[in-house]
Amino acid sequence: MKKVWSSYTFQRGVQEQMLSPFEVNIAGPEQLKGFLKKAQWMMQDRGHLLFPPIIVSVLTIWWIKHLRHEYLLSHRD
């Protein structure tokens, strides 16, 4: 099976091989730390470029969930 990610290093070998890529991604604290450090560095480096898209995406997700909720409420039997 081809690995989709490249930054994650396998430390427990066979145990991780048995998990799906999704589970490995979630169960990888080292990868998460690396991602957070990279995000922190990007915020410091060019925060004005990175911050607006984050706010917009969070608001968009909230808006879609809100609309879906309203739609489900109005279309109940």
Top mean pLDDT of 23-27, 47-51, 61-65 is at 61-65
Domain membership flag for residue 38: yes
Domain membership flag for residue 15: no
Sign of CA dihedral 47, 53, 56, 57: negative
- The whole-number average pLDDT for the span 20-32 is 54
Q: Determine the structural domain holding residue 59 and report its residue range.
A: 21-74
- The whole-number average pLDDT for the span 8-18 is 48
Count CB-CB contacts under 10 A for residue 43.
14
What does pLDDT average to over the chain? 64
How far, in Å, CA of 16 to CA of 20, rounded?
Answer: 8
Domain membership flag for residue 9: no
Query: Tens digit of pLDDT for each residue in 33-56?
Result: 766 677 666 666 655 565 667 778
Structurally, the chain folds into a number of domains equal to 1
The answer, as to whether pTM is greater than 0.85, is: no
The pLDDT score that the predictor gives to residue 46 is: 59
